[in-house]
Structure 1
């Protein structure tokens, strides 16, 4: 397997074990593929020259050229296959995440994407490898045609996170700030029944709690609102896809998270902010 520095696959550790014990939190089992040169991840080293040409800066006066190259790049990365070393390390770590009998589904995303922001949910090793190729293809194809100014790293593949998917009653996100105004003296907690994909974009109805940071130890609830929820989003293990399920009347109009749990999550966000030295947001399930 090699040393941690040379390994292509390592254990996913979002925060230190010491902090996990101190804050009494847990997170689903997971692994990551760290950032590394794209050329090291592909099965066919001879593709390096083709990729080098496609990833060159393009003439902004000719946007069609960028689109054509983006399409070619995406096709190469989706069909080229991954390196034997990467597949071997993924296979070795796979049972720790998917279970010895592959009894768990997986959630796959790039590191800078929230677990609730439309991640790929899948089952099985073959589907995992396909998803990884797709994420690399999307990353570089989008980066190639991105018109935002600034340096673009067109040779380093993004970090990918692979975690065990959980069965949940409710999910959401907690932030050590108010997201709309970015006010730092508030902390926000959003929740909904089932899977809260795209909760920040309001594509699912959500419940909201807003707390004022009264002190380092105590939050003061200043606002709460129960969203008008008609359904919940859950993973159908038989169909292998997300399904909308109707809610009963109590769940439709009630909170998907109690005030006590919301306050706990808000307090946790404040403590993490203090420990990590800056604003934080995290996804949660219960």
Structure 2
């Protein structure tokens, strides 16, 4: 009598779930407390029981195959069942690690307070923040949430508008006392600009903002916006700075307000499987709350509908 096809192991399914969320064997292993070899062996066991590949190698890590996506749904049900048993004893507390990336300024003034808010509400959830200014990843990056500048073009992911913010020209009082304050856009040609390193700028919207100041020669340039702020405060030139960061400093003066400024937007990117994790959803909620609390300093903006990018 035939015993039927092999039944996938629940442990193997949970390993697939960890890899699907991070895109990497090593990161999944760290989350589960096992080594890379164990992850590889578990995936091989799952593929043998299912009779096909569940993962395919991609530029940014591992991507789910069609069979893998079917297995993922089963894995999520296994996880929900396990968490349901645990919640009977722990009061349904959220737990886990949520990884996000964001620009330097957003990381410091929005993501960090949102992380603190999460810790107060859910002590068993930890938030890892990677401060980086780049486009949204087209492949898995081991991140649950990405905050990027400008509406991203991504596949198999959710893209949601978070907030508008403003870039404006700022100068220190000392700089203006020595060099004079430009009264027209034409006067900017006599001044130096503090901004991103042009050859290393990866974000189109930030590159477009630079075109507002084409007549200005470069002074101190850097890949980190906090360097821009401090170089501007040190009178290195006129900085093209986020208003929500520059306005915190009384020694900085807005130059040509209303005449030279760029209105940009922060967008949140996450994958559907990430949204189904309660701890990821909680962090997104905390980010939205913190954004709303800082809406005026960010530059305001009328609420927009979330958009799905595929």
TM class by shorter-chain length?
Answer: under 0.3
Bigger helix fraction: 2
What is the TM-score with the length of structure 2 in the denominator? Answer: 0.25
Greater relative CO (CA pairs within 8 A, separation 6+): 2
TM-score normalized by the length of structure 1:
0.26
